[in-house]
Chains A and B, each alone.
Chain A
Amino acid sequence: MKKSFREVLKEGRFIVTSEVGPPKGTNVDRMVQIIELLKDKVDALNVTDNQGSVMRYPSWGGCFLIVEQGGEPILQVTCRDRNRLAIQQDLLFAHSRGIRNVLCLTGDSIDVGDHKEAKPVFDLDSVQLINLVQSLNSGKDIGGNQLDSPTDFCIGACTTASAEPIEPHLIKLQQKIDAGIQFIQTQAVYDLDQFKRFMNYLCKLNKDVKVLAGIVLLTGPRMAVFLNENVPGIFVPQPLIDQLQVAPKGKALSVGIEIAGRTIREIKEEGLCDGVHIMAIEKEEVVPQILEVAGL
């Protein structure tokens, strides 16, 4: 039996999580393979929730598969597509199927996705969502009504370490920490000096929350530029884009793996934070190689 993520958080060793993106459709073969490949190599696997506002197979569906395959899932929940009733209902279902970790997110704007005409919900924001899960954990729904049994979720949140100005984000992070989160998975980290500054700020808050630095695999220079231009909250520095640019034909992905592995190694060696969260979007099969470069 795999150790629960909650226990891993308490062990004090370097934590590694990764994530899988569900399919656009009903064919889960690839996702099942990725889960099989990664479930024992990482401490937990996130499943994204209509990432980038692109409609996909549900996050809890992917998490359910992870449970079935003996892995440890982290359910990503955003506020964009569901009101408070729907979110709670999904969480009850997830809990009944053995899903015990929830990552509470705001969700990207509808405008970046593939259903631009849809109505954005945002009935709650991410801080309110964390409070909602706490409420279910205490045996009540967010309306204050008694549940027949409480949930027992380990709650995480996301933050961005590279925002400018950073202060409003730190205040929000403090609100999330005050609401009782147990772990943080950050948005992509490329600039370690900036990340150190972020961790310094965070240390001042002096709270017992595990921080996993986000590592987004760069598959080539075009992807890096795309991330900078289109993905909210990610900033790839120019020197890294240059490294990918000069890579020989067909070798850019290897360079990306090298960059990701190197970053993880540095984070671990310098003890910058408690672990990493590796996001290899649509290239999850190379996560073992990244871990190898990182020496994990």
Chain B
Amino acid sequence: MKTITAQKSFEEILEVLERTERVYIVGCGTCATMCQTGGEAQVLQMKERLEQAGKIVTGWMVIPTACDDLTKEALGEQAEGINQAQGILVMACAFGVQTVVSWTDKPVCPALNTLFIGKEDVPYQFSEVCIQCGECILGWTAGICPVTSCTKGLLNGPCGGTKKGGKCEIDKEKDCAWVLIYQRLESQDRLDLMRKYKRPKDYRVVKRPGRIKLSEDLLKRSF
């Protein structure tokens, strides 16, 4: 599981950094490195572009996992460069950005857009397979998630827009999630699951922002 990111346009980054002349850059050695959006190479590239744009880069580092607790220590070790800066540009996902925010008083600005939590299908190709809806229905849908994979998140079968050959109405390249579910359930001789009515989703399941504290009881329970 990885947080998939894309780099913001340089213009947008410059706009947010308009009043920040001296910048410190933080990259991330995990997801953002995998996505080639916040690894060492991209951090160095950013440094060069910022300098070309007239900024002073007071230092940079690539934290092994920016969303981790160790970020606090890493920021401490780099205090010198960070103190000289007026702001920190974080080339990590929004979890990394917010972790940095919680351990510094300096203004923090994201260099990336966080797109989705996905898995790596083959190197450099990622796909979103779950949007963490809190009420998992994979047991009824042959392990294929319509909440994520159907463009409309439909719970009871395909919409009328399915194109010839079982493609989605908005994208000739994308398989209709419900055709895939149908095919898989059929091959497993479980089509009755598709006929079963799935009631509307319960959006209370996860109150946003999601927050959970495991209870003492649960922690003591052994499986």
Residues of A within 8 A of B (CB): 79-80, 84, 105-109, 111-112, 120, 122-128, 131, 142, 158-160, 163-165, 167-169, 171-172, 174-175, 178-179, 187, 232-233, 235
Given the contacts A172-B156, A172-B157, A124 and B200 also touching, CB distance less than 8 Å: yes
Cβ contacts B112-153/A at 8 Å (1 or 0 each): 000000000000000000000000000000000000000111
With contacts defined as CB atoms under 8 Å apart, how many contacts are there between chain A and chain B in the complex?
Answer: 100
Flag if B199 contacts A175 (CB, 8 Å): no
CB-CB nearest in chain B for A175: B156
Q: Give, as a whole number of angstroms, the nearest-CB distance from B57 to chain A.
A: 35
CA distance A109 to B178 in the complex (A): 15
Flag if A171 contacts B160 (CB, 8 Å): no
> 29 A–B contact pairs at CB < 8 A?
A106-B159, A106-B160, A108-B169, A109-B152, A109-B170, A112-B169, A112-B170, A122-B152, A122-B154, A123-B201, A124-B200, A125-B155, A125-B159, A127-B156, A127-B197, A159-B160, A163-B160, A164-B166, A165-B166, A165-B182, A168-B157, A168-B194, A169-B157, A178-B197, A232-B160, A232-B162, A232-B169, A233-B162, A233-B169
CA distance A200 to B158 in the complex (A): 21
Contact among B151, B159, B179, B195 for A174, CB-based, below 8 A: B195
Q: Give, as a whole number of angstroms, the nearest-CB distance from A174 to chain B.
A: 6
Task: Say yes or no: is B161 at the interface (Cβ < 8 Å to chain A).
Answer: yes
CA distance A55 to B77 in the complex (A): 55
Number of interface residues of B (CB under 8 A): 30
CB-CB nearest in chain B for A79: B152
CA distance A160 to B159 in the complex (A): 9
Give every chain B residue within 8 A of A172 (Cβ-Cβ).
156-158, 178
Contact among B155, B158, B197 for A168, CB-based, below 8 A: B158
Task: Say yes or no: is B209 at the interface (Cβ < 8 Å to chain A).
Answer: no
Chain A CB within 10 Å — which of B152, B178, B179, B186 has the most?
Answer: B152
